[in-house]
Amino acid sequence: MTQAKQQNSEFRVPKRLQGIQKSNIRQIFDSALPNSINFGLGQPDLPTPECIRREAIRIIEEGNNGYTSHMGLPELREKIVSEYPHLDITRDDAIVTVGSNEALFCAIFALCEEGDEVLVPNPAFPAYPAINRLADATTVYYRMPQDLGFGFDAAEFEKTITDKTRAAIVLSPSNPTGRTLTRDDLKTISRILEGTGIYVISDEIYKDLYFTDEKPASISEYYEKTLVVGGLSKNMSMTGWRLGWLLGVPEVMKKALVVHGYDTVCASTISQKAALAYWTPEGKQAEAEAREIYKSRRDLLVSLIKTELGLEAVSPEGAFYSMVDVSSIGEEMEVVNKFLQNRVITVNGSGFGDEAKGFLRISFCASEDDIRAGVGRMKEALAN
């Protein structure tokens, strides 16, 4: 064997991939026993609304489903932009992406290079630091303190800013905590960042899954240099349809479009056309009904965690996750494994950041019967 062949016989992991592993959530899910109750994944169990499924069937049978433009269908981008009437943008400042994850990818790659820092909440969705690493950017965490119920702390946020800060990610409602940022929080972030040149990436994938009287506000209402990430995966049970979006600052969007064009070309044409049904009375009604279902499940889960397990659960203001404090009964991974052995999937809080150490994230993307059964299995596991 020649020296060149010997050198090529071993796979060399590129530097940008070193240290990046499959997410903690997926590792736990992959180790689950058959017939487990899933309190782990943020995967809606409700079906995609009939109006969207019906439209997709019609579109498939119609047969005209080639590529769209890189940006996506003009009529869909028009609808997306209409969700943000406070922004002085047009449909040409929006991109339809392959889910909100790709929108995050495009935003970070359009903004960042080696040496740049991106502020990320702790705890938060684990994709953020992974995408930053792929873009050669450095993740700097700002705490959402446990003792504030994982709420926003202005001092913690402000002290992480340096002359290397390129962008700050905000997430409301939050995965994993379900907390929403108040208007006062958003105004404070805007005040802190004003004049710095720092961009905000606002992850609003859960913005329509809220349990408060008022829909969560967007920081784009207060801060001009904002890129908004959104989509229909969670509120419309369209995770597998891969339909998201990115919109905002025109000069950044031009570069994000270059990333998107070479990354995926365009989002699924069938998904794009079918998604238009979301902006019909039937689509909006389906969303409202789903919100009420999740609210009922939230109330049931939080109550059962207290009465059956004797533990405290954070009652989320949005999304479909509750943080449960297990610090009194053991180390979090020990508790996760106990539940796994009794066929209940949960996720350890520290998988989202060390600020959530001692907690489990429990998803209520499960029927009320499954919630009751799952908490029952958890109780059995703790008794053994």
pLDDT at 4: 54
Cα–Cα distance measured from residue 135 to residue 110, given in angstroms and rounded to the nearest whole number: 9
Residue 347 DSSP code: E
pLDDT at 19: 82
* The two three-digit tokens of residue 342, written as one number: 């009794």
Confidence check: pLDDT of 3 > 80 = no
Cα–Cα distance measured from residue 55 to residue 97, given in angstroms and rounded to the nearest whole number: 20
pLDDT at 164: 98
pLDDT at 27: 83
Summarize pLDDT for 310-350 with one digit per residue, the tens. Answer: 999 999 999 999 999 999 999 999 999 999 999 999 999 99
Q: Which CATH architecture has domain 50-279?
A: 3-Layer(aba) Sandwich (3.40)
pLDDT at 22: 77
As a whole number, mean pLDDT of residues 225-234 equals 98
Summarize pLDDT for 28-40 with one digit per residue, the tens. Answer: 888 888 999 999 9
DSSP collapsed to 3 states, 228-247? EEEECCCCCCCHHHCCEEEE
Cα–Cα distance measured from residue 117 to residue 306, given in angstroms and rounded to the nearest whole number: 40
Topology given in CATH for the domain delimited by 20-48+283-383: Aspartate Aminotransferase, domain 1 (3.90.1150)
pLDDT at 154: 98
Q: Which residues of 77-88 are buried (b: 16+ CB within 10 A; e: fewer)?
A: bebbbebbeebe
**CB-based contacts of 55: which residues, under 8 Å, 6+ apart?**
273, 274, 276, 277
**Residue 287, number of CB atoms within 10 A of its CB:** 17
Widest CA span of the chain, in angstroms? Answer: 70
- For residues 16, 19, 24, 30, the Cα torsion angle rounded to the nearest 10 degrees is 90
* The two three-digit tokens of residue 131, written as one number: 């995408």
Confidence check: pLDDT of 150 > 80 = yes
Q: Sketch the domain layout of the chain as residue ranges.
A: 20-48+283-383, 50-279
Q: Which position has the token pair 């004797």?
A: 310
β-bridge pairing 117-122 and 165-171: parallel
Confidence check: pLDDT of 268 > 70 = yes
β-bridge pairing 244-248 and 226-231: antiparallel
Query: 86 versus 27: which is more confidently predicted?
Result: 86
pLDDT at 319: 98
Residue 47 DSSP code: P
Q: Which position has the token pair 């606002």?
A: 202
Confidence check: pLDDT of 182 > 70 = yes
Provide the CA 201 distance to its chain's centre, in angstroms: 12
As a whole number, mean pLDDT of residues 144-165 equals 97
* The two three-digit tokens of residue 49, written as one number: 């609304």
pLDDT at 9: 64
Summarize pLDDT for 100-119 with one digit per residue, the tens. Answer: 999 999 999 999 999 999 99
Instruction: Report the mean per-residue pLDDT for the chain.
Output: 95
Confidence check: pLDDT of 218 > 90 = yes
Residue 165 near residue 115 (C-beta atoms within 8 A): no
- For residues 158, 120, 287, 65, the Cα torsion angle rounded to the nearest 10 degrees is 130
Supply the pTM of this predicted model.
0.94
**Residue 303, number of CB atoms within 10 A of its CB:** 14
Confidence check: pLDDT of 7 > 70 = no
195 conformational bin, left if phi > 0, alpha if psi -120 to 50, beta if neither: left
* The two three-digit tokens of residue 327, written as one number: 């610090």
Confidence check: pLDDT of 6 > 80 = no
Cα–Cα distance measured from residue 117 to residue 137, given in angstroms and rounded to the nearest whole number: 6
21 band by pLDDT with thresholds 50, 70 and 90: confident
pLDDT at 18: 85
Least confident of 9-23, 187-201, 271-285, 336-350: 9-23
Residue 120 near residue 139 (C-beta atoms within 8 A): yes
Instruction: Give percent of the chain with pLDDT exceeding 70.
Output: 98
Least confident of 46-50, 61-65, 199-203: 61-65
Does 20-48+283-383 match 50-279 in CATH topology?
no
As a whole number, mean pLDDT of residues 171-196 equals 98
